[in-house]
Structure formats: structure tokens, C-alpha cells
Structure 1
Amino acid sequence: MAPMILLSFVLFSFVCFYTGLDNVVKGLECQLNPNNPAKVWYTLSVSPPARHESNSNFTIKRENGQLSYTSIQAAIDSITDGNDKWIRIFKINLHKSCILLEGRYAQKTLIEFNAHQDTLESATFTSLAENFVAKHITFVNTHNYNLYGRGTRNQNANANDVTQAVAAMIYGDKSAFYSCGFFGVQDTLWDSQGRHYFKNCYIDGAFDFIMGNGQSIYDECIIRVLGNAIAAYGGVGYITAQSRSSDEDPSGFVFKGGVVEGNGKAWLGRAWGSHSRVIFNDKKIKSKQKFNDIIVPERWSPWDFENDPVKHFTYTDQNCDGPGNDTSRRQFNTTLTDLQMQQFIDLSYIVAEGWISNQP
């Protein structure tokens, strides 16, 4: 079965500028439907063309009748502005708050585009909406990424043309992704701002491919380094580029469990901000976080803050395992007590008011 391929889109809605739990700009509260097993008020589903190359129109079906649109965007536009009820979107694009975007399988439900002109303009998927959930969807930017070779370099690509090409840019507060894929080479996932939760996701990339100022937990995710896509640069990349800029900034990337694998070599992260914060941790006895033998022994790079007299980074990789877990040459390590670590790996780090339990 050929995968469904959708083009680039932008979600325009309310933006919550997150500044800390004590100063949260309170956003729209979305209503669950207690009488629906999926907890949504109604479902918009899509019947794609028989072949993904076809330009045929999609048919949008709604529970209370059938509606046909000349474009997917027109179907999303049918949802009223200010919508406050959870609506499930099945296999299509959207730009409203309180939306559950759901595919049947992440391997076969793809949102794909090829763009690299500018970081802000290149994203295949941009979400400005708060209260957003995605399940079983793969977001792909195919610039220098051979999708069907799962990240192997495009044969016709210029060897020196690796540049910013974002697969997904997430601005909206209270956004959650379950069993989703994010595929690209450079700047794959722009975790820009807000509180986000990624569960059982796949993230491919080479340079800074998890980047931004989000306050996010990555729970049991698989991170795959594509050293073969940057062979012209020595095959050495960077997994994270977190941009926290002050002690008061609550943002940070927390990786709980999961696997770091791939080919080539990669640093765990480099500092995009003066107070960059990235934590890799798992205290599970039988299922510790696994590092493949691709991690650069120094692990963390100060990047443009090399000459700062005091390094304010919070970089730690505790309770990890695997052949890449050599800490003998680690440049930076912030040792956290069990209590301090618990404050980050517990869901309360991002859901103090329980927003995840209020999503379908």
C-alpha cells in the first residue's frame, strides 16, 4: 500500500507564550465528550485517492453527514474559529485548537514536503495551536533525506548542500505526540516553545535535529543519528541544540528511557543558549536508556559559549547504559541528586495543572 503523502501546512490559532508555571498565559480550555469512547465531539475522516500521486479531491466524512471539499485546507476551515470542543482529525492537516490528529499507522500516514530556503519557512508542519495531540503520524522534510531509504542520502543531492530543513515546528503550549515520527537531516524537530510531551516517538537527523526552547519530556523515544547523510562533514553531528537563556527560564529537554542509535558519530548536544538544559536519564533496572556506540566521548559542546568564564549549562546523562556510555572524557556534567532529578523526569515538570489527562 502506497503511503499517503500530504503537503506542507501551518496551524494558525492561539499562541501561548510560556514563561514559567507561575506566569502561564492561560489558554483555551477544551471540552471532552464523556459520551464518546474517543472523548471527542465528532470526527472528520479522510478517504485519500487510490494513488498518492493523484491530484483527485479528498472526501471528508463527518458523523452527521458527508461533506466534499476541493482541498484538505477547506475542510479544516470548516471548523469555527474559537472552537472549544475536541475534534478528531483522521489523517489530514489542521489549524485549529483542541484537535487530535490521528493516523492509522505512523509508517503509512506521512506528512511530507521538501523545503530548505529558511528555517522559519522550511517546516513541513508548523503548529501554533495550543491543546494539540498527534498520534501515529510521521512528519518528513525530504531535503537531503531519502525517505524510502530511511535517511540515506539522496543520490542527486549536492554533497555540501545540507542545510536547515525542518520537519515539524512546535510553538503551541500543551502539545502531545504519541508514536509519531520526525524525519529529516538538519533541524528536524524544532521544539520551539511551550510544554510538550513526546511518547514512543522516532526522531531522525544529523545536525541539531532536536532544537529549540521547549519545556519537553521525551518518553521512551528512539533517536537515530544519520551520520551517512553528512559524510562530507566527517559524519559527526549534534543531537540537541537547546536554547534556554537564563536561570529563570523553565525550558529544557528531558529524555526518559529510549535508545540513541544510528551511524557515524554525534554529540549529545551543543549550547544554543547560555543556560542550555538537556537531561538524559532512566533509573529502570531492566530497561535503562541505551546509547549506541556513536556518542562522541566529550558528549557536550559549549558551541558559541566556549569563551564564557562561567558555564551555566545543565547537561547530564545519568543512569544510562550501552556501548556509547563512556563518560571518561565528558566535558560537562551537572550531577543531580535523586530529588533534583525527580523534579525533571516526573510529568509534573510539564503538567502541573494536569493538562495531559484532559486530552483525548
Structure 2
Amino acid sequence: MSILARFALVLVLFICLRGSEGGVQTPPSWVSGGAAAAATKYQTITVDQSGGGNYTTIQSAIDAIPFDNMQWICVYVKTGIYKGVQTARRSKIVRRSFEKARKFARSIPCSVKTEPSSSVRFKNEPSTSIGTLARRSFVFDRIYFYYYIYIIFIKYIYIYIIFIKYNKHVTYPAPRILISSVQKKKKTLISLTSIQIPRPQASLSAGHSKLEVFEVILHFRCSEQVKIPYDKPMIYLKGGGKRKTYVVWNGHNSIETDATFISEADNVVVKSITFINSYNYPLASNGHNPIMPAVAAKISGDKSAFYRCGFMGVQDTLWDDAGRHYFKLCSIRGAVDFIMGSGQSIYEVIKVQRLLLFFYETVWVAESPLFYSVSTISVIAGFLSPQPGFITAQSRDAASDLNGFVFKDCNVVGNGTTYLGRPWRGHARVLFYNSRLSNIVVPQGWLDGDFIGTTMKDLVFAEDECRGDGSDTWRRVWWKSKLSKEEIRRLTSKSYIDEEGWIKNQAFNMLS
């Protein structure tokens, strides 16, 4: 084997094993039927706005799931911004940009088929970021384009080697690379939008292959409210990345019924999707809509877990309503009471970010690189200045209730000022543990409430082992809680929400 071939093989293994949410990912291939179904007991439903999946909307896929479902079903949501009316479309395949890629393809067992296109124009524009969609120079577009082609082919070789090793009768169709023309503010923007990667079926001995479509950067804007009713449990809702898969809705008339995402069922897992309530978000200096409750997600079912998800709004962004919930590597943005409810929840590895109002006048903050560099809870209450915002509004009713919010290993950063929380009910409980609190946290830390039959001492607002400029507790309110080490250990342990081990038995963990 030549040195070049060895280097290529090492690069293949590194890229494929490294994996990252922002890169090219292949959806899980769960099946139903035969021995494979008996072993995995999973099914998958694909949602693709462009018609390449089973459904074009998330809600239609959820509606198709049987009531009182007793086995895990994955709803795989291709990348895109799910609003209501589609304003972008795919183009034909472009020939002129594939010459170098074609030469590279000849050396491996796959090919690129192209057709001429008159619907795509290459236009030189200033390099200005608009999230994952960018106006770039023509030269940069070509570099960006070929980068993804090479990664696709490398992953293709990896898949080819692995599966041919176990079954020599498997055949693979050639991948196709598509480019779409996207209109935004009367400018033509060009980006790689769709990659079709071959993946084998579960029954390899059949000698066939199945073509899975995975959208890398899909610029569609269509609106959708998504609801998982109480009688449809065991759903695994998976997106293509929280920077690439958005569900957007502008409901605001009722926090009970108008959230962008409503989950009432038990045993729900959501991964790599961002939910946005766009009624008054993103903020703008002219403020078209008043600041009022506009919920991005309402979670009412028990045993619900969220991984690498985003929640964006201004007031009451995430209604952690009821049940045991687990949030890991999630991004939550808001200004007033934007994590609220009576859920029994642990939030792990979170960063709280607060941005100045003027920032929103130049770029859609949902696409800010700062928001995605780490997991975040973003406080955007700068527009309230000089008044601070509030991160939490917890609503435990009685001292005997088990619920509460635990923020573990979190970062609180940004601009402006904010309270860590205020109570929604008289026995509210919130703990920040081993977290970094920047100087945006007001010295008082917490605000009390006025509830009949309770006092400030009934509130459990606590901090332990925190660090950063905002963690100095000597100026905190006098009634702040001082929990025992045993109580802190109990609240910060995963067993606080997971005594019977439901997290490790859910779909995401069983497949990871």
C-alpha cells in the first residue's frame, strides 16, 4: 500500500470516528420487520420539506404514529427551518462546478452525475454571515463546495469498506450532490444544500442498498407548531443539528396552547432541534410586537430528555411544566422568566449568555456563533435596562413536592444584568451548582415573591461551588438558602430524576 493510500485511510477513519454535530451526519437506520425489528424494536419516520421523506411536516409524522404506542419510533427531521410556507426550492443539478470533483471520483467506486442548470447564478457578494446561510465570494464558494464533496466521498469509502467486508453482494448507488438557489433580501445565495449518501438496509444478504437523503445545509423557511399528545409516548424526535433544524411558530394568545413545541407524552427524546417562538424574537430596536409570554416549548410529559437542543424566545421561552426532565448540552435563550414551571429537572453543561440589544439590529441572533460555540442559556434582557431580567421562575407548590430546577456545570455570561430567579409559587426550588456566573448576575442574586401562607424562608434558592465575577454571595439576599452537603448531593445526582434508570433505557442512549 502506498504512503498516499495509507494517509487517506487514516484520514477516513479519523473523520468518520470523530463525528460532530455540525458536520455531515448520517441518520440512524432503524427498521421494522424481520429479525432486525425483533432485535431493535425501533421504527423510523423521515420528515423532509422537499418531499424526499415520508412526510413534509413534523406534525403530520407525529399524527401518523398510533395512539398508545408501546415501542420507540424515531421521527427524523431533515435540516431546515420549519415555518409554514416554503419560499425556497431546489434547483437542477449543476454541471459547471463538478469538474475537479469528477476527477477525484474516478479513483473510488462511486460517481457524480450532473445536469446543466439555468436556475442557479453565481454572484460575487461581500462576505457577511447570516448564520449558516452566507454571502460569500465566488472563490470561497468553490472552496466550501469541494470541501464537502471530499468529506462525502471519504465517508462513502468508509461505508463501502465496512459493509463490503461483511457482504460482498451489497450494491451502492452513486451519491448525488445538489445545489439550490435561495432568495433572501433580493440577493442570490449559493450553498451546498443536499447530499444523498448510500446506506445499506438491515438485511444485507438481500443484496440491495437503500438511499438515505441527508440535508447538510438546507435553506427552507416554512412555519409549524408541533404537538406530541399525551397518548403517543415513546417518540424519538431527531433533527440534523440545532444550527440546521429549526421549528418556528409565533403563537402568543395562550401559553397553554400556543407554544411552538408541546410535548404531553411520557418517554419523549428530542435531539439536535431548535424551537423558536418568533412572536417577539429576535429582538429589534423598533420592537414590532410587545414583550409578553410567548412559549417556544412546553414540556408536560414524564421521562423526557433533550440533547443538543435550542429554545429561543423572550419571555417564558421554556415552560418546564411537569414531570421528570433531563436537558444536556441544550441552548436556552430569553429575557424574562424564560425557564419556568414545576418540572423536576436537571440542566447539565449549560452556558447563559446575555447580548446587547444593538446586536440584534445587524444579525439574526439565532444564528450567532457565540450561541453555538458551547451549550447556552442566553439572557437577552438588555432591552430591559436598567431593569434586570430573570432566568428562572420555578413553581413548586409545597415543601413536600419533589420538583425543582438544578443547573449543574453551567456558564452564565453575556451583557446586561439578570437575577438568577424569582418564584412562581411559594416553595420554588432552584440550585446552581459548580457553575460559572459572570458579572451579569446582580449582587442580590434572587428576588422574592408575595404568596399567601408562605415566607421568604420557604423558598429554596441556592448556589454551591460556583465561580466567576457573579458568584460572590456576600451581597446576596439574606434569606438565600444554605443547603447541606447531603441535600446538594441528592439534588445534583442524576438519581434525583432517574431513580429507576429511565434515561439509559431511552432511544438516544440505547443507540449512542
Could you tell me the TM-score, scaled by structure 1's length? 0.77
Q: What's 2:400 paired with?
A: 248
Residue 60 (structure 1) shift:
3.0
Does residue 112 of the first structure (1) align with residue 234 of the second (2)?
no
Q: What's 2:19 paired with?
A: none
Local SS of the residue matching 2:414: strand
Residue 323 (structure 1) shift:
1.4
Q: How does 1:62-141 map to 2 (within 5 A)?
A: 72-91=58-77, 95=228, 96-141=232-277
Q: What's 1:157 paired with?
A: 287
Does residue 301 of the first structure (1) align with residue 431 of the second (2)?
no
Residue 335 (structure 1) shift:
1.5
CA distance in 2, matches of 1:79, 1:270: 39
Q: What's 2:30 paired with?
A: none
Match for 1:253: what amino acid?
F
Q: How does 1:193-342 map to 2 (within 5 A)?
A: 193-225=322-354, 228=357, 230=381, 231-232=383-384, 234-282=386-434, 289-305=435-451, 308-309=454-455, 311-331=457-477, 332-342=479-489
Deviations 1:212-253 (A, max 9, x none): 000000011222345635425535100000000111111000
Q: What's 2:491 paired with?
A: 344
CA distance in 2, matches of 1:221, 1:233: 24
- Kindly indicate whether the alpha-carbon contact (under 8 Å) linking 1:205 and 1:224 is maintained by their aligned counterparts in 2: no
Question: Structure 1 162/307 Cα, relative in aligned 2: closer, same or farther at 3 Å?
Answer: farther
Q: What's 1:60 paired with?
A: 53
Match for 1:106: what amino acid?
K
CA distance in 2, matches of 1:108, 1:139: 11
Deviations 1:273-331 (A, max 9, x none): 1111000112xxxxxx2112100110111123499555201111110011111212111
CA distance in 1, matches of 2:462, 2:504: 29
- Kindly indicate whether the alpha-carbon contact (under 8 Å) linking 1:227 and 1:237 is maintained by their aligned counterparts in 2: no
Residue 72 (structure 1) shift:
4.4
CA distance in 1, matches of 2:246, 2:256: 21
- Kindly indicate whether the alpha-carbon contact (under 8 Å) linking 1:166 and 1:186 is maintained by their aligned counterparts in 2: yes
Match for 2:344: what amino acid?
Q
Quick check: 245-254 or 84-93, which moved more? 84-93
Bigger Rg over Cα? 2
CA distance in 2, matches of 1:227, 1:240: 20
Q: What's 2:300 paired with?
A: 171
Deviations 1:107-136 (A, max 9, x none): 110111112222223311111011000011
Question: Structure 1 334/70 Cα, relative in aligned 2: closer, same or farther at 3 Å?
Answer: closer
State the identity as a percent.
Answer: 43
Local SS of the residue matching 1:321: coil
Local SS of the residue matching 2:53: strand
- Kindly indicate whether the alpha-carbon contact (under 8 Å) linking 1:138 and 1:181 is maintained by their aligned counterparts in 2: yes
- Kindly indicate whether the alpha-carbon contact (under 8 Å) linking 2:448 and 2:456 is maintained by their aligned counterparts in 1: no
Deviations 1:126-159 (A, max 9, x none): 110110000111111112212xxxxxx2244248
Local SS of the residue matching 1:358: coil
Match for 2:405: what amino acid?
F
Question: Structure 1 193/225 Cα, relative in aligned 2: closer, same or farther at 3 Å?
Answer: farther
Question: Structure 1 301/357 Cα, relative in aligned 2: closer, same or farther at 3 Å?
Answer: same
Quick check: 310-319 or 266-275, which moved more? 310-319
Q: How does 1:2-21 map to 2 (within 5 A)?
A: none
CA distance in 1, matches of 2:233, 2:351: 28
Match for 2:481: what amino acid?
T
CA distance in 2, matches of 1:343, 1:129: 27
CA distance in 1, matches of 2:58, 2:74: 14
Residue ranges of structure 2 left out of the alignment (5+ in a row): 1-33, 79-225, 358-379, 508-512
Could you tell me the TM-score, scaled by structure 2's length? 0.55
Q: Give the structure with the larger strand fraction.
A: 1
Question: Structure 1 168/35 Cα, relative in aligned 2: closer, same or farther at 3 Å?
Answer: same
Residue 71 (structure 1) shift:
5.1
Local SS of the residue matching 1:304: coil
- Kindly indicate whether the alpha-carbon contact (under 8 Å) linking 1:177 and 1:197 is maintained by their aligned counterparts in 2: yes
Residue ranges of structure 1 left out of the alignment (5+ in a row): 1-32, 50-57, 62-68, 147-152, 283-288
Question: Structure 1 169/260 Cα, relative in aligned 2: closer, same or farther at 3 Å?
Answer: same
Local SS of the residue matching 2:490: helix
How many aligned residue pairs are there? Answer: 299
Residue 76 (structure 1) shift:
2.5
Residue 77 (structure 1) shift:
2.3
CA distance in 2, matches of 1:134, 1:74: 17
